[in-house]
Each structure stands twice: as C-alpha cells, then as structure tokens.
Amino acid sequence: MTDAYNEGDALIRYLNELQPLRKEIIDRGKKETFKYAVPKNEVLPNLSHLNGYYLFFIVKGLVRAFILDEGKDITAWFIDENHSIGQIRNPGILVPTYREQYQALEDSELLILPYHFIDDVYEQFPETNILARKLLAIHYHMSQERSILSRIPSAEMRYKQFKSGHPAIKSRVPLKFLASYLGMRIETLSRVRKKEKLQANG
C-alpha cells in the first residue's frame, strides 16, 4: 500500500460531482486514503491486520463479488471504475449470512477508505450526509437492477438485459463468471451468445 494523494483525485472528482466537498474534507480524505494494487485474478484481502473496516474505491480495473455456498463459487455482481465496494454495515445484524469476497478480474488499482474516517466526516460535516444519501441511492438502484435481472425467466433475456445495463463491462467479464452471475450453465450462455451473433449477421 502507498499514500494516495494523486490517486485520490479520482475519488474526489467522483464525490464532488455528487456533492461539493469543503477543502477540510478533501485534505483529510487524502491523508486517510491509501492505494492498493491488485493483480488480475487475485482475491482482495480482508485487511483484518489493519484493525478496522474498509471500503474500496476502484480507480482502475474490474472486480467481481462472490460468495461460497457449500464449496460452490457464486458470482453476485461486477463493479468497475469510479464505484465503491465493501460490506454495507447493518447495525441490527452483526454477522452476515454469507461473507462476500472480491476478486480482481483485471489488474486493478483501488483506494482504501477506512470506515472510521467515513463515520467521522458524517459527524463533523453535515453535507457529507447528503452525499451518503446519494451514494446509498446509487447502490440501492444497482442492487434493485441485480434483483430484477435474477428474476427474468428467459436466459436470453437475462443476457440481453445484462448487455444493455452494463455496456462498459460486457466484453470484460470472463464467460464462466458471467454465466454464474446470470444463473445459467456456461454451455447455455455460449448458445445464447452464438444465437445472438447469428441473428445479428442476418
């Protein structure tokens, strides 16, 4: 990990577009934020050795979230640049049913945001609570889209919906992980893609 003064600019730009931040917040954010480089295919660490809880902001790359259920690897979602990942804390439930893990699908550059910093700025700077509501709305929308996608009965329509909703990453996701995310076998996804290609070529 390294200090992230320059890399943090991407995060500051993103947040400022949602809610303008005063200089004190930006300066403190640069001091509290660290860069983490993750090679392709590597699973992100839980950072328990740093004595705290953290969010990750993706500066560059593509990450998938997954869970393990009785040894089976299930892809939950994908996230790319200018988005954050991490466990959303629920005060009423201390232990999640499944522990979500994260794997870099490309060589990725992440910024680490400690939750203690996030909690502190919420308390000290009222405008950051407006920012928090906007970020929560974005994450809720993304969660809602994933929920709807999982309920579409047709494999073809699930694939088309994914392509429509994720134009920036549709060609960056390995086939086996995309099939897992869409809830279908790799063979089924291959047939769907082949059929679509034939229809496109007329």
Residue 27 sits in the same domain as residue 118: yes
Single pTM value for the model: 0.81
| Contacts of 69 by beta carbon, 8 Å cutoff, 6+ apart | 98
128 with 80, same domain: the answer is yes
Residues 114 and 168 in one domain: no
Residue range(s) defining the domain that contains residue 202: 152-202
Q: What angle do CA 130, 136, 138 make, to 5 degrees?
A: 110
| Per-residue confidence band for 8, with pLDDT thresholds at 50, 70 and 90 | low
Same structural domain, 33 and 74 = yes
**Mean pLDDT for the stretch of residues 144-154:** 89
- Considering the domain architecture, whether residues 89 and 178 belong to the same structural domain is answered as no
| Sequence letter at residue 129 | N
> Rounded CA gap, 164 and 181, in Å?
15
- The CATH number of residue 60's host domain is 2.60.120.10
131 plus 197 within the same structural domain: no
Which tens digits make up the pLDDT trace of 91-148? Answer: 455 555 667 889 999 999 998 888 888 888 888 998 888 988 998 888 888 888 888 8
Quick check: 89 pLDDT over 80?
A: no
How far is the C-alpha of 37 from the C-alpha of 141, rounded, in Å? 28
Domain count of the fold of the chain: 2
